[in-house]
Amino acid sequence: MDAFTTLTGIAAPLPVANVDTDKIIPARFLKTIKRTGLGVHVFDTLRYDEQGAERPEFVLNREPYRRAEILIAHENFGCGSSREHAPWALLDFGIRCIIAPSFADIFHSNSFKNGILPIALPREMCDLLMEDAQLGENARVTIDLARQVVVRPNGEEIAFEIDPFRKHLLLEGLDDIGQTLQHEPSIDRYETGRAAEKPWMPAISIA
């Protein structure tokens, strides 16, 4: 998982509440277990019409938001079913940070596990950032995770809260497997000792 330290990028405004995971990635695209290739289908029913043509009014189909790395939305983002494909699809599109007043619990957790930073800010702050985003290419937003601030294009800083352990994992780029591998020497010592004491038991490898 790529570490998240400081991000400066284009922010796409999505002034919609209760964006569910089926809206983020429809169920028909859940057959894959790969984390790549889903970006083209993120918000599929909003981005494309029945013939598969782009809907020009949808924000991610317009410049400069095709290159957005930050998404700003309204309350309860990521509600609905607990599909991990939702953060996979957003990440594959290029989104590394989502700012909203609130998030569904499972989506919130899955985002951290996949290297996406969900930031909860009051609705009025989200609306200000959406106004900034409407300015387009030059209205870049900076996310400084170490300092826990969102920096508006005018230089104003907005502080946000984050669980210290999750912050550490993002800064270090550690997913669940990465956390386990940090203990690899201890695991190897245990397995070596176990093999000597109980040679009839099969060895376990985490490589």
pLDDT tens, position by position, 36-75: 899 999 999 999 999 999 999 999 999 999 999 999 999 9
Q: Which helix (H) or strand (E) holds 119?
A: strand 117-120
pLDDT of residue 202: 66
CA 126 – CA 98 distance, rounded (Å): 11
- Highest-scoring range by mean pLDDT, 25-34, 81-90, 133-142, 170-179: 81-90
**Cβ burial 64-95 (10 Å sphere, 16+ → b, else e):** bbeebbbbbbbbbbbbbeebbbbbbbbbbbbb
The H helix count followed by the E strand count for the chain is: 8, 8
Query: Pick from 30, 33, 50: which is nearest to 42 by CA?
Result: 30
Q: pLDDT band for position 192 (50/70/90)?
A: low
pTM to 2 decimals? Answer: 0.86
Residue 136 has pLDDT above 60, yes or no: yes
- What type of residue sits at position 6? T
Q: Which residue has the higher pLDDT, 61 or 82?
A: 61
Q: Domain extents for the chain?
A: 6-173, 175-207
Q: Which CATH architecture has domain 6-173?
A: Alpha-Beta Barrel (3.20)
* Segment 145-155, tens digit of pLDDT: 999 999 999 99
